[in-house]
Each structure stands twice: as structure tokens, then as C-alpha cells.
Amino acid sequence: MADTPTPRPPEAVPPAPAMRRALRRVRDGAALDVTEASVLLAARGDDLDALLSAASRVRDAGLVHAGRPGVVTYSRKVFVPLTRLCRDRCHYCTFATVPHRLPAAFLERDEVLEIARAGAAAGCKEALFTLGDRPEERWPAAREWLEARGYQTTLEYVRACAIAVLEETGLLPHLNPGVLSWEELTRRRWG
């Protein structure tokens, strides 16, 4: 959980031959296994430069293959932190927090629209909803906030907000709602 971080273990330095072998396989375009990929995480200095050069070649080849050499696209998006409460306790997380550190369990629908409109005015094309995973399963404050507004779950509320953003601002909703069942996933589809 974000409020009780666990110290990270010190990074292991892989043996030089293992790094050389992994870099050679990268240069040769070979598929990497988990061990080789882990070794490359420790690349620094000249090793890192060699890794980045190889990665650039792969990217450039991909762009040529896609018919748009040298063109990298991106989507301008505005972040909508619908709630920073979460049922989970991922110890690296700096996003999730506890109810007493927030003014409210969720953003109100009008606050969501205000953020989205500001994003649209600034040229954004997407509204990226960031939120924790089913906070109502852990936090009574989240449950009560939702129930007071007629929602049983965070998923119902994020869906309502996403539809409002799409209809009222034209921004494309991009949802990060955590773990979904297959039924929930298919219910999230629009149109």
C-alpha cells in the first residue's frame, strides 16, 4: 500500500559474461528468455548505450514495416484520477492512499467533466481514468460514497463518468479500472 512502502532490495549486478551474451543476442535479433531480459535491466553506461541502439533499430524497423518510417504517434490525454482508493496493497504503488488523506472517496461527476473540458480545451483527445481496483471492497467510505449516488460498484460509476465525458466533451474515455471479469469486460464496450 502507498502509505506503508517496503524498502526495495538492492539491485543484483549480473556477471559481465551474462551481460555480453544478452547484448549479443539482442544485436542478433534473437528472442530473449526471462533470465536474459532480467540481466539487461542492469545495463548501465556503454552496455546501456548498446541496448538502446539495438532497441532503436527494432523500433525503426517496425515503423518501416508499418509503412510510416520515422513517424512515432502518440495520443494527447488528460488524467482523471477518479479515485485513489484501492482494495489492493501493491507495495510499489505511489498512487493509492487512504480515505482520511483525501477530500472525498471519488471525484464527483461534475469534477470529472471539468477536468475533461479543460483537457479538451488544451488539445487532448483522450480522458485517461486512473483509479484503484474495486475500492468499495475494502473501504466503507468508498462504498458509502457510491451508494449515496446510486451506484453499487466503482465499475458502474466509472462507466457513467466515461459516457458523460464522451457525450459532453467528445474525448475518448480510456479506462484503467483494475481487474475485470470477462462479463465486466464485455459490458464495458460502447455502442
Closer residue to ligand SF4 (CB): 26 or 162? 162
Please state the closest distance from residue 133 (CB atom) to ligand SF4, in A.
4
The separation between the first and the last C-alpha atoms of the chain, rounded to the nearest angstrom, is 36
Q: Cβ closer to ligand SF4: 79 or 117?
A: 79
CB distance 19 to 47 below 8 Å: yes
For the bound state, the minimum distance from the C-beta of residue 178 to ligand SF4, rounded and expressed in Å, comes to 6
How many other CB atoms sit within 10 Å of the CB of residue 138? Answer: 19
- Give the nearest distance from C-beta 116 to ligand SF4 in angstroms: 21
- In whole angstroms, the minimum distance from the beta carbon of 129 to ligand SF4 comes to 12
Q: In what order do the strands lie in the sheet containing 172-176?
A: 77-81, 126-130, 172-176
Q: Which residues bind ligand SF4 (CB under 6 A)?
A: 86, 88, 90, 93, 95-96, 132-133, 178
Residue where the block lists cell 482508493? 85
Residue closer to ligand SF4 (CB basis): 60 or 137 = 137
Cα separation, 92 vs 19, in Å, equals 27
Of 117 and 178, CB closest to ligand SF4: 178
Which cell goes with 49? 548505450
